[in-house]
């Protein structure tokens, strides 16, 4: 099973309605494809974890990369995992507020450096810590 953490930059504005539609479609597609994970969105940048069968994750990432709503897609972490970190999340979502951001280990005030593909190997522990924080908060279903 493959787990991928990637970032992308929105190529247009995403308001709450746009994000709700994106989540509804993602959750439907992910259930059908056997994918799980979570999505963060802040200031025009996405950070997402996708996990599932290797080929399905790679195909979905290729679709996201080709999607005209996304730019600067950069894979930050790619791991083979024995079991899902977010088994009951077809696509968990957290609106990132300043208050929430301050409490998340590994979270940055912006995704600027990450979203531009400049994340170095030394930064991967911060991304992994961020993923683990969300994993520990995972509700029964999202």
DSSP secondary structure string for all residues of 27-74: HHHHHHHT-EEEEEEETTEEEEEEEE-HHHHHHHHHHHHH-TTEEEEE
Q: Residue 15 domain-assigned?
A: yes
Q: Which residues contact 116 (CB under 8 A, 6 or more apart)?
A: 72, 74
Within-domain flag for 37: yes
- Asked if the structure places residue 46 within a domain, the reply is yes
Whether the CB-CB separation of 30 and 91 falls below 8 Å is answered with yes
CATH number at residue 120: 3.30.70.100
Percent above pLDDT 90 for the chain: 21
Neighbours of 83 (CB within 10 A): 8
Q: Is 86 within the bounds of a domain?
A: yes
Residue 134 makes CB contacts below 8 A (sequence gap 6+) with: 38, 49, 86, 92, 94
Domains contained in the chain, number: 1
Q: Which domain holds residue 117?
A: 2-137
Instruction: Quote the radius of gyration of the chain (alpha carbons, Å).
Output: 14
* Average predicted confidence (pLDDT) for the chain: 76
**139 vs 26, more confident:** 26
Q: How confident is the model at residue 110 (pLDDT cuts 50, 70, 90)?
A: very low
Is the pTM above the cut of 0.75? no
Residue 24 lies in a domain: yes
Confidence of residue 96 (pLDDT cuts 50, 70, 90): low
Residue 12 lies in a domain: yes
Task: Indicate the pLDDT class of residue 65, thresholds 50, 70 and 90.
Answer: very high
Instruction: Report if residue 142 sits inside a domain.
Output: no
Q: What is the structure's pLDDT at 3?
A: 93
């Amino acid at each position: 099973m493959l787990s991928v953490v990637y970032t992308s930059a929105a190529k247009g504005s995403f308001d709450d309605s746009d994000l709700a539609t994106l989540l509804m479609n993602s959750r439907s597609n992910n259930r059908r494809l056997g994918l799980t994970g979570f999505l963060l969105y802040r200031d025009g940048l996405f950070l997402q974890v996708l996990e599932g069968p290797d080929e399905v994750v790679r195909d979905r990432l290729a679709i996201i990369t080709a999607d005209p709503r996304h730019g600067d897609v950069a894979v930050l972490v790619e791991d083979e995992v024995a079991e899902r970190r977010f088994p009951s999340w077809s696509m968990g979502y957290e609106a990132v507020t300043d208050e929430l951001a301050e409490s998340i280990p590994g979270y940055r005030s912006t995704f600027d450096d990450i979203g531009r593909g400049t994340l170095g190997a030394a930064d991967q522990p911060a991304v992994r810590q961020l993923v683990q924080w969300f994993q520990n908060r995972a509700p029964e279903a999202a």
